[in-house]
Amino acid sequence: MIAVLAAATKVDLAVFAVSAVIVMAGAFGVVFSRNPVHSALMLVMTLFGVAVLFVAQEAHFLAVVQVIVYAGAIVVLFLFVIMLLGVDQEENVAAERLRGQRPAAMALGGLMFFLVLLLAQATNWATGTPSARGAASGPGENVEKLGRSIFTTFLLPFEVTAVLLVIAVVGAVVLVRRSPSLPEEGDAEDEAAPEPRGQRRDEEVPA
Amino acid sequence: MTIAPVLAGGDPLLTGKIDFAVVLIVLLKTFVTFAVLMVAVLFMVWFERKVISDMQNRIGPNRAGPWGILQSLADGIKLFFKEDLLPEKADRRVFRLAPYLSAVPAFLSFAIVPIGGVVSIFGRETRLQLADPPVGILFLLAMSSVAVYGVMLAGWASGSKYPLLGSVRASAQMVSYEAALGITVATVVLLTGSLYTSDIVASQTGSIFNWNIVRLGGLPFLLFVVAATAELNRPPFDLVEAEQELVGGFHTEYSSIRFALFFLAEFMNTVTMSAIIVALFLGGSDGPTFGVGGVVGTWLLPLFWFVAKLFIFLFTYVWFRATLPRLRYDQLMDLGWKVLIPVSLAWLLVIAAITLERRYLVAAFPAMLVGAAMLYRSLALGKDAVRHEDLHA
């Protein structure tokens, strides 16, 4: 551990410490906020902290993708759903939904913490030292290396993920489409009614 | 198509030893960028009001200063001294946070705009650009995705229905058009082979035929302008703050300096986006230097060309506002998902094929035709199904 500490400069260590505090504060905030919107915002804070850690590891591309995809799209969708469903009220945390939920959570949490400590002890303490391992590390352009390793070494997982995402999109479309043969429910009709009218109006407008 | 200019991204100032002078130069650049951006916003507000008045046969602001040019400064000072209201149902912390989430990304994204090439200040070589990060143009996308939070949380935290409706619209719109924006940027990056904004500009120097607007066939440029306008929430895509239906949209409940911050962010983003369009497609500061060397050739002329091109787009955005009626929500979503994204994806494939080898173009065109036919058929099928259901309902 001391050898690793020596390899990291003071700047590395300071950046790591600051972003670790941000990440942890965000993570605690997600759990302890009573309002779901505040929780989502705290999650964004954690994601930003992780992005800073990526930059410290010279993984610039990963950092910016983290911000664009996770902070920019996924949490926005979370917020979108929270706002649309109107569940943005403070929740009563005292009520226990499942019996024995709390002791189980504590036991599992403690176990996880122990495992993380064990892993860290066996390999490395994270100190902000730039990593030398992995396909994308070392000098040179991030994007190029990432591209090369995705399209050579990890081609199959990459393609499988792409197929999985396409299936998810098609599945979502199939799920929300109402079947014409089924008898329609009242509110489903109300929601879907304006759309066909709008489309027909489109056709009538001269281009 | 296989022009491979010497790509040397990154600021030469920061590659050597970092001493006190370097820090000072960076601070100076930051200060100048900030000041230029603020002045540009003040000017842009005045310019928009004046041009719109002209187009509508009005006079417009004409009291403060010559031609009313100090009007936006007066408005800014007035907004500072107004009462700052906090709605009773508002979520206090988020309500106070939201304007900054709008304004800060707007400031930051201007940092990557390459205003000019490499110049020397106090004997040090540096770029006329505040920052040239390795992720380059992706930084713009990251900042615009952070800016969504400002609009969205402002609407939600106000605790009132019109702002909430405005912000839900806004988030859907901005997330949808970000996809098209990203794919179009990818087309440019594919041709350049680098993410550095300075490289993107450097690869376009020489003549007008090297500019990306010509090299990419013009289409990505049009797509980018449309997607950027939607991303800016400017007319005709200003459903977010449609005053006839939503009072003022997400900033209805805001007053005083917090309102001013939203306003500032909107105009700053307009300036930044126009500058990015110039850098991505119109060769940035590229233009004839008439063989003039020295300070005029390396500093003033490129700066002049950049500002001249910037003006075209600033004027175009005002022109859009005066001319085009606002889209309906379903038209907006149709345009984004059914037109912009498929077309930009198809064009990305064509550009990729040409970049690889010219003869793939022969293969890419039939493939595109087949793809377009399939897309058209599936759209027609969907419309038929909807019409069928309509008849039976």
Per-residue pLDDT at B224? 92
Nearest by Cα to B132 from B153, B117, B148: B117
Per-residue pLDDT at A193? 43
For residue B210 the two structure tokens come to 């090297």
CB of A145 within 8 Å of a chain B CB? The answer is no
For residue A93, report the phi and psi dihedrals to the nearest 5 degrees: -85, -15
Distance from CA of B198 to the nearest CA of A (A): 15
Per-residue pLDDT at A25? 94
Residue burial B133-171, b: 16+ Cβ < 10 Å; e: rest: bbbbbbbbbbbbbbbbbbbbbbbbbbbbebbbbbbbbbb
> What contacts B290, CB < 8 A, 6 or more positions away?
B301
CA distances for B274 relative to A109, A124, B222, B298, B314, angstroms = 50, 47, 13, 22, 7
Mean pLDDT on B45-52: 90
- Which residues are B124's β-sheet partners? B121
CB of A187 within 8 Å of a chain B CB? The answer is no
Task: Give the predicted TM-score (pTM) of the model.
Answer: 0.81
Q: Do B142 and A77 touch (CB under 8 A)?
A: no
Q: Where are the alpha helices (DSSP H) in chain A?
A: 2-7, 10-32, 36-56, 60-65, 75-85, 101-122, 142-151, 155-176, 186-192, 194-204
What's the CA gap between B202 and B31, in Å, rounded? Answer: 25
CB of B345 within 8 Å of a chain A CB? The answer is no
Nearest CA in chain A to B156: A83
Q: Coil, strand or helix: which one is B119?
A: strand
CB of A179 within 8 Å of a chain B CB? The answer is no
Cα angle B135, B141, B142 (rounded to 5 degrees) comes to 75
Instruction: Among A58, A79, A88, A142, pick the best mutation site for testing chain B contact (most B Cβ within 10 A).
Output: A79
**Could you give all domains of chain A from N- to C-terminal order, each with its CATH number?**
2-91+104-142 (1.20.120.1200)
Inform me whether the pLDDT recorded for B233 exceeds 60.
yes
Q: Coil, strand or helix: which one is A153?
A: coil
> What contacts B226, CB < 8 A, 6 or more positions away?
B180, B335, B340
> What contacts A54, CB < 8 A, 6 or more positions away?
A60, A62, A63, A66
Inform me whether the pLDDT recorded for B262 exceeds 80.
yes
Per-residue pLDDT at B218? 81
Inform me whether the pLDDT recorded for B390 exceeds 70.
no
Instruction: Among A142, A143, A181, pick the best mutation site for testing chain B contact (most B Cβ within 10 A).
Output: A143
Mean pLDDT on B353-382: 79
Mean pLDDT on B287-292: 73
Of B134, B178, B392, the CB nearest to A60: B134
CB of A76 within 8 Å of a chain B CB? The answer is yes
Contact between residue B190 and residue B348 where contact means Cβ atoms under 8 Å apart: yes
What's the CA gap between B119 and B295, in Å, rounded? Answer: 9
CA distances for A159 relative to A29, A134, A152, angstroms = 36, 20, 11
**B388: which chain A residues are within 8 Å (Cβ-Cβ)?**
180
User: What is the residue-averaged pLDDT of chain B?
Assistant: 82
CB of A123 within 8 Å of a chain B CB? The answer is no
Of B141, B385, B393, the CB nearest to A189: B393
Q: Do B168 and A196 touch (CB under 8 A)?
A: no
Per-residue pLDDT at A186? 47
Of A38, A68, A80, the CB nearest to B145: A68
Per-residue pLDDT at B197? 85
Tell me, what amino acid is at B338? K
**B118-121 and B124-127 beta bridge pairing:** antiparallel
Give the HSE-up count for residue B10: Cα atoms under 13 Å, Cβ half-sphere.
10
Tell me, what amino acid is at A29? G
For residue A23 the two structure tokens come to 């990440």
- Mind listing the pLDDT tens digit for each residue in B125-179? 777 788 888 888 889 988 888 888 888 888 888 878 888 888 888 888 888 888 8
Q: Do B175 and A76 touch (CB under 8 A)?
A: yes
What's the CA gap between A119 and A125, in Å, rounded? Answer: 9
* pLDDT class of B392 with cuts at 50, 70, 90: low
Per-residue pLDDT at A159? 93
Regions of chain A short of the pLDDT cut 70: 1-8, 87-96, 123-141, 179-207
CB of B89 within 8 Å of a chain A CB? The answer is no
What's the CA gap between B358 and B374, in Å, rounded? Answer: 25
> What contacts B205, CB < 8 A, 6 or more positions away?
B5, B283, B286
* pLDDT class of B3 with cuts at 50, 70, 90: very low
Listed range (A182-191, B11-20, B69-78, B220-229) with the worst mean pLDDT: A182-191
Nearest CA in chain A to B390: A196
Q: Do B168 and A72 touch (CB under 8 A)?
A: no
For residue B53 the two structure tokens come to 């008045």
What's the CA gap between B25 and B33, in Å, rounded? Answer: 12
Inform me whether the pLDDT recorded for B304 exceeds 90.
no
Per-residue pLDDT at B4? 39
Per-residue pLDDT at B184? 92
